[in-house]
Amino acid sequence: MPSFTPLAAEAAGKIASYAILDDPNHLAVEIGQAEHRIGLVNSWQIQQGSRVLEIGCGQGTCTAVLAEAVGPEGHVDAVDPGPPDYGAPVTLAQAQAHLSAGPVGDRITWYHAEPVQFLAENPGTKWDFVVLAHCIWYFDGPDTLGEMLAALRGRAAGLLVAEYALTARERAAVPHVMAAVARAALEAHNKASEANIRCLLGPLSIKDAAARGGWALDKEEVHVPGVALLDGSWEAGTVKSKWFLEEIDKYITDVTLKTTLLSAREAVVGAVGLLNGEKVRTMDVWVSRFV
Amino acid sequence: MPSFTPLAAEAAGKIASYAILDDPNHLAVEIGQAEHRIGLVNSWQIQQGSRVLEIGCGQGTCTAVLAEAVGPEGHVDAVDPGPPDYGAPVTLAQAQAHLSAGPVGDRITWYHAEPVQFLAENPGTKWDFVVLAHCIWYFDGPDTLGEMLAALRGRAAGLLVAEYALTARERAAVPHVMAAVARAALEAHNKASEANIRCLLGPLSIKDAAARGGWALDKEEVHVPGVALLDGSWEAGTVKSKWFLEEIDKYITDVTLKTTLLSAREAVVGAVGLLNGEKVRTMDVWVSRFV
């Protein structure tokens, strides 16, 4: 396998252009997303020519970067259990089809499947790397994650994980941490949640699940996302919104718990207010490799 | 009534010496507590000669400052429903008795009573001010608070409240906000809680309860406690401790909720770690007056 050559940060513009760009502001958003994921791929040292299994690929934001990293000799199998019509304004199916029709489309195969079932149905297939990039908070809990990490054991040389670290080296990212906790505390009481935080698994819980699945931690580091990664701003926005209040009313009956969630939201609103108009930043990201 | 003369910050040393000082480090702790409460009393403009009803006096930390503020012509009725043997190493009863035997003891009357019942049993008594200083998080919820604030209506000219603001103007106080949310999210699932956060009522919830009780907001401001007020450090410490983990195991059965609480704790541990050894500070305090 060829030695590792990092992707240049400048590749973000090109990779971002592979996505469906439905309005003039969207390119900048996609560039921020691609820049962040170029940082992940370089930290993981994914070589040209690699065969990668991506779990929880969603609309393919990381898949596009992985496809660029593996080059024309490599391949990405991208698995997601989400319904093809999930997502707005662009659905999962639309976004994936658009990437497939683009410059790196022939390096990607999409699978609409539960990961554990997908692995069971393809028993002979192995990969160089399995990637889980910002997908773990969609899992319904540590048991589901643990089951999947155990099923991945023996199927790839390296397990590569990126998830929010629950810390904020940048002061402006503090509201993101608080919003994630508030959102997760609400969603823990909504078993049918389709939110993007269904169970808040921090690095400690992920390492615990990986260890139970037979994986040994090989490397971990913390990335501080740039201002162009808007996830923190979006998440704080959802908690500040009136819909969060409506969901508290809908899903929570206990008055003490309801008050606690209102106060968790008040802490987010207060933390955003203290930024004096500066945009909320995205919290630190924990980037790890297991073997 | 005489015009208002602020208490000098230097009075903190004298007032602190009224408390039981059971070890050499305790005086500094009490001075920090007294300094903070002198700030509250001055913000509220409690005049010499005032008759004050203090709800949730506990061991009398604020009571001593109030007794100093009202002077020899004033009086403080201090009510707390807590059991006389609550608190360690010094109990409520011991701390109160010690203050009674001290220089301002004759300005204080202690009542071991539920506040609403106390008001009902003393129908003719009125006060210049009712004070709730850092006692509201001990309430079991907004309904109990609302009932009490309604019962206080017509019994005093001014309602004076101090409670944590759920914001951190000082970066080092961020862990305190996160710890309060984590602790409250746990205690919301422990109906028999004797923790010092039983229901996390933020300023918005308190203002809502006051409005329902017939009180109009007259003034509100935010105080940033000094480094000598250790409450934030204590609270973050309790969430970091192994007992928090044991309580999660004891009170929480749902695995998603358990994971969320572990991650809320991980956020506190991470936030403390980012202070690089600097002591956790106490979050902002919301100080308000209602008429």
Q: What is the torsional sign of CA B119, B120, B125, B126?
A: positive
The whole-number pLDDT of residue B140 equals 87
CA A273, CA B33: separation in Å to the nearest integer? 28
Report which of A24, A89, A103, A32 is spatially closest to residue A61, judged by C-alpha positions.
A32
Residue type, B9: A
Residues A226 and A29 sit within 8 Å (Cβ to Cβ): no
Which residue does chain A place closest to B138, by CA atoms?
A256
Task: Find the closest chain A residue to B174 by CA distance.
Answer: A174
Q: Are the C-beta atoms of B201 and B207 separated by less than 8 Å?
A: no
Name the residue in chain A with its Cα closest to that of B270: A167
| B28 three-state secondary structure | helix
Amino acid in the structure at residue A184: A
**Alpha-carbon distances, residue B197 vs A137, B160, B246 (angstroms):** 28, 20, 17
Query: What's the pLDDT score for residue A2?
Result: 58
Question: What residue ranges define each of the domains in chain A, with the CATH number in brackets?
Answer: 10-168+197-228+279-290 (3.40.50.150)
* Interface predicted TM-score of the whole assembly (ipTM), two decimals: 0.95
- Residue tagged 């008001």 (tokens): B119
Is pLDDT above 90 for A285? Answer: yes
Question: Is the CB of residue A250 less than 8 Å away from at least one CB of chain B?
Answer: no
CB-closest option in A143, A165, A259 to B199: A259
Determine the pLDDT at residue A1.
52
For residue A181 the two structure tokens come to: 């906790």
Of A166, A254, A259, the CB nearest to B266: A166
Q: What is the pLDDT of residues A209-260, one digit of tens each?
A: 999 999 999 999 999 999 999 999 999 999 999 999 999 999 999 999 999 9
The answer to whether B200 contacts A263, with C-beta atoms less than 8 Å apart, is yes
Q: How many Å lie between the alpha carbon of B168 and the closest alpha carbon of chain A?
A: 7
Q: Touching check for B222 and chain A: CB below 8 Å?
A: no
Percent of chain A whose pLDDT exceeds 70: 99
Report chain A residues whose CB lies below 8 A from the CB of B270.
165-167
Contacts of A286 in chain B (CB under 8 A): none
Listed by number, the residues of chain A in 105-144 with a beta carbon closer than 8 Å to a beta carbon of chain B are 140-143
Please name which of A232, A242, A230, A225 lies closest in space to residue A271, comparing C-alpha atoms: A232
pLDDT at site A190: 86
Higher pLDDT, A25 or B39: B39
- What is the rounded average pLDDT of the residues A70-86? 96
Query: What is the pTM (predicted TM-score) of this model?
Result: 0.96
By CB atoms closer than 10 A (0-12, 13-18, 19+), residue B231 is buried
pLDDT of residue A25: 85
- Interchain proximity A181–B143, CB inside 8 Å: no
Partners of B189 on chain A (C-beta within 8 Å) are 257
- Cα B268 to the center of its chain, rounded Å: 22
Backbone angles phi, psi at A40, to 5 degrees: -65, -50
- Which chain A residues are Cβ-neighbours of B178 within 8 angstroms? 177-178, 181
Q: Does A266 touch chain B (CB under 8 A)?
A: yes
Going from the C-alpha of A93 to that of each of A64, A65, A84, B87, the distances in angstroms are 15, 18, 5, 60
Pick from B177, B198, B260: CB nearest A199: B260
Tens place of pLDDT for every residue, chain B, 291 residues? 557 899 999 999 999 999 999 887 899 999 999 999 999 999 999 999 999 999 999 999 999 999 999 999 999 999 999 999 998 889 999 999 999 999 999 999 999 999 999 999 999 999 999 999 999 999 989 999 999 999 999 999 999 999 999 999 999 999 999 999 999 999 999 877 778 888 999 999 999 999 999 999 999 999 999 999 999 999 999 999 999 999 999 999 999 999 999 999 999 999 999 999 999 999 999 999 999
Q: How far is B172 from chain A (nearest CA, A)?
A: 11
Judge whether B68 and B22 are in contact, CB under 8 Å: no
> Is it true that the peptide bond before A89 is cis, omega within 30 degrees of 0?
yes
Inspect the interface and report whether the beta carbons of B188 and A263 lie closer than 8 Å: no
Structure tokens at B172: 């080092």
Q: How many CB pairs under 8 A join A and B?
A: 132
Q: Which helix (H) or strand (E) holds B130?
A: strand B127-133
| Distance from C-alpha of A99 to C-alpha of A289, rounded to nearest angstrom | 27
Do B90 and B20 form a contact (C-beta atoms < 8 A)?
A: yes
Question: Do residue A255 and residue B203 have CB atoms under 8 angstroms apart?
Answer: no
Q: Which amino acid is at A127?
A: W
**Chain B residues lying within 8 Å of A245, measured CB to CB:** none
The SS3 call for residue A127 is strand
Residue A67: predicted pLDDT: 98
Q: Report the residue of chain B nearest A264, measured CA to CA.
A: B181
Q: Which of B253, B258, B247, B261 is nearest to B193 (CA)?
A: B247
How confident is the model at residue A88, as a pLDDT? Answer: 84
CB within 8 Å: A169 and B254: no
A267 touches B at CB < 8 Å: yes
